[in-house]
Amino acid sequence: MNGSLQQDVNQETFTINLGPQHPATHGVLRVKLVMDGEYIVEAEPVLGYIHRMHEKMGENRTWAKFLPNCGRMDYLSAMSYNHGYVAAVERAAGIEVPERAEYLRVITVELNRISSHLLWFGAYVLDLGGFTPLLYAFDDREQILDLLESVTGSRLTYCYFRFGGVYNDIDDSFITGTREFIKRLRKRMPMYDALVTKNIILIKRLKDIGPISKDMARRYGATGPVARGSGINFDVRKHEPYSVYPEFDFDIPVYEEGDSMARYMVRMDEIEQSMRIIEQALDKLPEGEIKPQKAVKMVKPPAGDYYHAVEAARGSFGVRIVSDGTNTAYRMKLRSPTYSNLSLFGEATKGMLLPDALALMGSLDLVIPEIDR
Amino acid sequence: MLLAKIKEALCGLYEDIQAEVKEIPEVATEEVVADATDAATDEVKPEASDAAPSKETRTEENAAEQKETEPEEAVEPVEVPGPKETDYKAKGYHLDVELSPEKIPEAAEILNREGFFIESIAGVDWIEEKQLEAVYDFNHFDELCRVVVRTRTARDNPEIPTISHIYQGANWHERETHDFFGIKFTGHPNLEPLLLPEDADFHPLLKDFKA
């Protein structure tokens, strides 16, 4: 326990539970807080309320049968998880992917990233007490869900990618719909900027609140917008290029401040960058197959271990697979970004006011099923 | 660039094994005794990276000597233990470092000094070999360089020293690996179940686990 806060004999601490059911945790996360008045002495997240053991499931079903599991970890950016898993298996089994399929993957992943950031944006402002932006954000997000539903068949828990390709080709209505959506969102972003980002209440709640230093982010292995909000220029799409990302021109927003505002700004800027990628991908979209010529029937990667990481909406999602050469994984490790991002919460919130800690927690963009897996 | 640097730094961790490898066939000659003491003084130096290259060349020299004196032993190809570069495109990582459990904190310190961050720790149950493996994934923010550090421990009494005091992020990864495999990370401040229920006394990712 923090000695300096306890030294005063007139002070005494008490323990409270934040969660497991609390609107600010967006799921079943419990944080044990030792409080000194309004100040946090110690915060300890308690995980595992919706732990489903996806890694064990990976060991008792064939490679292909695990595909639907990917959409059920991070349900807000399920597409990235699809991508991480199929890319890892493709690397292990040496499966080639047609170029058009890679383009479709990038388009859908980036659309999914925008929808994830929009939901985070609405929910975060809701955490801070502003209700209206949530409704605007959901209005925009709804367009993406409709678009993705027309291609993938599902609105949230996508299972769109297959080994060596994707399940379904896009049609003209998807392309025009996506272009229209981007036009629409471009018009809406200045409104979000004026309504929320420049709002003095939001700035006062976020500026200089919950600083995370570069070194802290590194020691805890934080990635994604959390790292980029702390001045770390790290994005798997650029750092370790995969799929067809090297063919697109886009920037990685990085903010040096390390406070909640910086993490907020990173995500808001990323929406624009994702739109740029989608536009370029639609312009350059090649004709051709979306699945390998010879259907991939039974995947049996040679024995050995393989790793593949992708940039999900919340950071670096990595899949480490250990194969024994059979049609089932010997071991499947799923490295989820928020697990590492949340692990710094205890250190980052020491001595912080409780409402500020909630502002910090929201800026981490937690998705509990992905932490618990 | 970074890969070569970290490989050289990690080479230092293999000094004693490398020394052992050549000591065994050459105990008879007097030169080797002097050599071994040299190696010992090298190890005392805190800068492992300085010691590593000189050590390597010495290994080569010794191997050459060995060929002259005992040709029948030298024919047998002795694999020099050390960090192995892997085919990144096929594997997804650059450097594969297999160590004994007690060397893990030292390796973590070297990686920490070079600015690496920890991505994850994955356990693997090698039930047929009666061993549990822990695989540490490290990555670097500035330059693409993935380092995999792995170690194996006995399945009936799995113990690995903690690195949570070096990488605070490893705290949860170690707790998770303890949850799933029962690997005891010695020195860990709080090895309580994290993802499993607080009273869990089972380790579900062990291959002989029955629900």
List pLDDT tens digits, range A348-372. 888 889 888 888 888 988 888 888 8
Cβ separation of A316 and B119 shorter than 8 Å?
yes
> How far is A64 from A163, CA to CA, in rounded Å?
8
Which of B24, B51, B48 minimizes the C-alpha distance to B38?
Answer: B51
Average pLDDT over residues A106-123: 92
Average pLDDT over residues A207-233: 90
Looking at the predicted structure, is the pLDDT value of residue A117 above 90?
yes
Closest chain A C-alpha to B20 CA, distance in angstroms:
29
Share of residues in chain A with pLDDT > 70 (%): 97
What is the predicted pLDDT for the residue at B23? Answer: 57
What is the predicted pLDDT for the residue at B48? Answer: 43
Instruction: Write the pLDDT tens digit of every residue in B50-68.
Output: 444 444 444 444 544 444 4
Closest chain A C-alpha to B59 CA, distance in angstroms:
30
Instruction: Write the pLDDT tens digit of every residue in A134-191.
Output: 999 999 999 999 999 999 988 888 989 988 888 888 888 999 999 999 999 999 999 9
What is the predicted pLDDT for the residue at A118? Answer: 93
What is the predicted pLDDT for the residue at B41? Answer: 44
The parts of chain B modelled with pLDDT lower than 50 are 26-61, 63-74
Interface check for A52 against chain B (CB to CB < 8 A): the answer is no
Q: Which parts of B86-193 are beta strand (E)?
A: 95-99, 116-126, 131-140, 147-154, 159-161, 184-186
Cβ separation of B91 and A48 shorter than 8 Å?
no
Contact predicate B174/B121, CB 8 Å: yes
What is the predicted pLDDT for the residue at A93? Answer: 87
Within A153-259, where are the H helices? 172-192, 200-206, 214-220, 224-228, 236-239
Cβ separation of A218 and B171 shorter than 8 Å?
no
Contact predicate B185/B194, CB 8 Å: no
Contact predicate B14/B98, CB 8 Å: no
What is the predicted pLDDT for the residue at A146? Answer: 92
Contact predicate A84/A318, CB 8 Å: yes
Interface check for A304 against chain B (CB to CB < 8 A): the answer is yes
Q: Is the ipTM of this complex over 0.95?
A: no
More confidently predicted of A204 and A292? A204
Token pair belonging to A269:
């800027």
Nearest chain A alpha carbon to B118: A221
Task: Please report the domains of chain B, with CATH numbers, ordered by start residue.
Answer: 2-74 (no CATH), 84-186 (3.30.460.80)
Average pLDDT over residues A74-85: 90
Strand bridging mode A304-312 / A315-323: antiparallel
Looking at the predicted structure, is the pLDDT value of residue A346 above 70?
yes
Phi-psi region of B175 (alpha: psi -120 to 50; beta: other; left: phi over 0): alpha
Contact predicate A136/A188, CB 8 Å: yes
Token pair belonging to A340:
């590492």
Q: Which CATH number does A53-372 carry?
A: 1.10.645.10
Closest partner CB to A322 (pick from B117, B124, B167): B124
